Amino acid sequence: MALRRCCGLAGVAPRLLWNVLPGAYVPGRTSASSLVNTHHGCKTLQLRRFSSAPPSTDVSYEQMKQLLAGRKAVVIDVRESWELREYGFIPGSINIPLGQVNTALQLGPDEFNEKYGGEMPQQTDNVVFTCLAGVRSKTALNAAALLGYKDVQHYLGGWQDWVKNEQQN
């Protein structure tokens, strides 16, 4: 019984520390690496926050229009091909269904072009993922970040937001 109570507090203490100490390690919210510093013979333990995602990953409709107009990003639509045929797609986007993103981003440039009909993004290119409503695109963004892509974003509103805004213009 005492063990259960003690374990129950395990989730509370990190949350309390999070509110008091910005940058403190909280399981499930951040990952951390512990560092031991030695200063004047004293050892201190520091915690640092690390994140594989860029600080701002959401792209608005206006930003998407600018990126497409200036050809400043590779736009990848991660919906299934039948969804694009039935509902439409953002002009200039490349279709890579979500289940194929991880494999596709590891192909050679020629094989990528042959299979997906577009130029393979480099790990330093700005890559924007899109889908129907921003859920699958966030998953694709995370997969690309894990593969080493540095400048990855997703169109939060997805196809639904695109259509709504295009009809208004």
For 122, the 3-state DSSP assignment is: coil
Q: How far is residue 56 from each of residues 52, 59, 74, 87, 146, measured CA to CA in Å? A: 12, 8, 17, 28, 16
| 59 three-class SS | strand
Task: Give the three-state DSSP class for 61.
Answer: helix
Q: Which CATH superfamily is domain 58-168 in?
A: Rhodanese-like domain (3.40.250.10)
From the list 6, 7, 42, 131, the catalytic residue is 131
What pLDDT score does 83 carry? 96
Number of Cβ within 10 Å of residue 122's Cβ equals 12
Reported as type and span, the H/E element at residue 43 is: strand 42-50
Any catalytic annotation for residue 131? Answer: yes
pLDDT given for residue 57 in this prediction: 87
pTM > 0.85: yes or no: no
Residues 134, 136, 139, 145, Cα dihedral to 10° = -70
Helix (H, G, I), strand (E, B) or coil at 144: helix
The whole-number pLDDT of residue 159 equals: 95
Element (H, E) at 135: helix 135-146
For residue 164, give both structure tokens: 């709504």
Q: How many Å apart are CA 152 and CA 92, to the nearest integer?
A: 17
Q: What is the mean pLDDT of each run of 10 residues along the chain (169 residues)?
A: 48 40 40 38 42 68 93 95 95 96 96 94 95 94 95 94 92
What does the domain layout of the chain look like in residue ranges? 2-50, 58-168
